[in-house]
Amino acid sequence: MTGVIETHPANRHEKESMADDDLETRSLRAVWHPCTQMKQHEQMPLVALARGEGAWLIDTRGRRLLDGISSWWVNLFGHANPRINAALREQMDTLEHAMLAGFTHAPVVALSERLSARTGGALGHCFYASDGASAVEIALKMSHHAWRNAGRAEKREFVCVRGDYHGETLGALGVTDVPVFRDAYGSLLQAAHVVASPDARQATAGGGGAAAADAARRALADAERLFADRAERIAAIVVEPLVQCATGMAMHDPCYLRALRGLCDRYGVHLIADEIAVGFGRTGTFFACEQAGVWPDFLCLSKGISGGYLPLSVVMTREEIYREFYSDTASKAFLHSHSYTGNPLACRAALATLDIFDEDAVLERNRERSAALAARLRPLRGDPRIEHVRSCGMIHAFDVRSEALGPDASSFARRFFTAALERGVLLRPIGRTVYWMPPYVLTDAECAHLAEATAGALDAVLDGDA
């Protein structure tokens, strides 16, 4: 059938002329891009990439862009990393994929063991999927199913935190509180309870430790009110530990997570930690929860897990939860699957990523890198256009004051993105929040380039020439 179509002269002609167009034009014709109002590309050019190299993306015109946001928070050790590439090449020649029901393989076993070891064995059972949103779906389903297996089927409600983001599939969107992603689909979703955020920016006078702890206490009181009222119907609360990323890098004090763990234990509610964005060293520790000294009942990981190479996500859970499913009864089993669950290539990329963490003392070196980046943000603290300069590990952010945004406030993020590209950096503000979330391979010179381009883009956009 395809043969007939391809040899038709009219089609052949069309194919050739299409191939003559540049990649951007062909992409706009054939590819529906994610998280994009496609019509905006009438004004805003697409960037066609040719290749990646370390912290850099290189477009088809040879322009070099420093990847200041790790390609949507996934890349850890640079693009085309030689060590991850080598591991993948070897895996490709060994086993590219096989089903994981009834079968297993070395990469998925080793990855599960090593991730579990990173939790000191607290979360000893790993369930795999491909994307972050699927991991959140799995945690929600598993939580309810565990209660159901324990004879508590009425526990079917979920709680999320004001401003939280957990992905875009219907279940994950149901526990997401970012209006721009949620509003069009509200009528399709099972409504979740939304409790107050511990966002330290709400704290008064200059932020600081005491004020952040205060914001955390107020948020906890709100969660406790809800739990006291209806914990018998609530299966789980899902949180983004330490940094609520998609709502604009809202950071909170670890004491929030520690106390929330206590509340969950007291009221019999599962704690789901969505570390899809903040795991794998982003916040300074390997897992964000480590800073609170607690483990959740379900830990969702994705994004950095494969070093930014391949879609892979995992839900890690405790022995007690796993035991609720272990039975002679099929309906008690967790009968969820995705075709690519536990894909060997993705697992192998993840193992190579863990090797780099171990061999290169990444967390230690990131402490210096983070301090160097924070130092470059320091001049902005005195800038009257800026507020809430903040850092957590390898995440650095500041907000442009509403008064400084000018009349065209709604297009700030887009104009800043363009101004940064012109200065050789990929940055993509969220609303009026500008942030850095770079790969863990930045040199001093690259840190300087990032800071200079940020300052330059800010001046250009706020002075109205961009």
Q: Which residues bind ligand PLP (CB under 6 A)?
A: 131-133, 136, 165-167, 240, 245-246, 274, 276-277, 302
Q: Least Å distance between CB 304 and ligand PLP? A: 10
Q: Give 84 or 276: the residue with its C-beta nearer to ligand PLP.
A: 276
**Residue of this chain nearest to ligand PLP (CB atom):** 132
Q: Are the C-beta atoms of 258 and 293 separated by less than 8 Å?
A: yes
Cα–Cα dist 294/251, whole Å:
18
Q: Least Å distance between CB 414 and ligand PLP? A: 20
Q: Give 166 or 270: the residue with its C-beta nearer to ligand PLP.
A: 166
Q: Are the C-beta atoms of 436 and 427 separated by less than 8 Å?
A: yes
Q: Give 273 or 447: the residue with its C-beta nearer to ligand PLP.
A: 273
Between the two ends of the chain, the Cα-to-Cα distance in Å is 51
Cα–Cα dist 105/91, whole Å:
11
What is the identity of the amino acid at 449? H
Within 8 A by CB and 6+ apart from 65, the residues are: 47, 56, 57, 58, 59, 421, 424, 425, 426
Q: Least Å distance between CB 281 and ligand PLP? A: 15
Tell the residue number behind the tokens 């969220």, with chain if given.
430
Nearest to 315 by CA among 134, 133, 141, 135: 135
Cα–Cα dist 275/260, whole Å:
16
Q: Give 246 or 397: the residue with its C-beta nearer to ligand PLP.
A: 246
Q: Give 74 or 219: the residue with its C-beta nearer to ligand PLP.
A: 74
DSSP string for residues in 328-341:
S-GGGS-----TTT
Q: Least Å distance between CB 407 and ligand PLP? A: 32
Q: Give 54 or 439: the residue with its C-beta nearer to ligand PLP.
A: 439
Structure tokens at 52: 């990646």
Q: Least Å distance between CB 280 and ligand PLP? A: 12
Q: Give 302 or 317: the residue with its C-beta nearer to ligand PLP.
A: 302
Q: Least Å distance between CB 172 and ligand PLP? A: 6
Nearest to 450 by CA among 465, 441, 438: 438
Cα–Cα dist 17/10, whole Å:
11
What is the identity of the amino acid at 315? V
Q: Could you count the other beta carbons within 10 Å of the beta carbon of residue 244?
A: 26
Q: Least Å distance between CB 165 and ligand PLP? A: 5
Q: Give 140 or 457: the residue with its C-beta nearer to ligand PLP.
A: 140
Q: Least Å distance between CB 146 and ligand PLP? A: 21
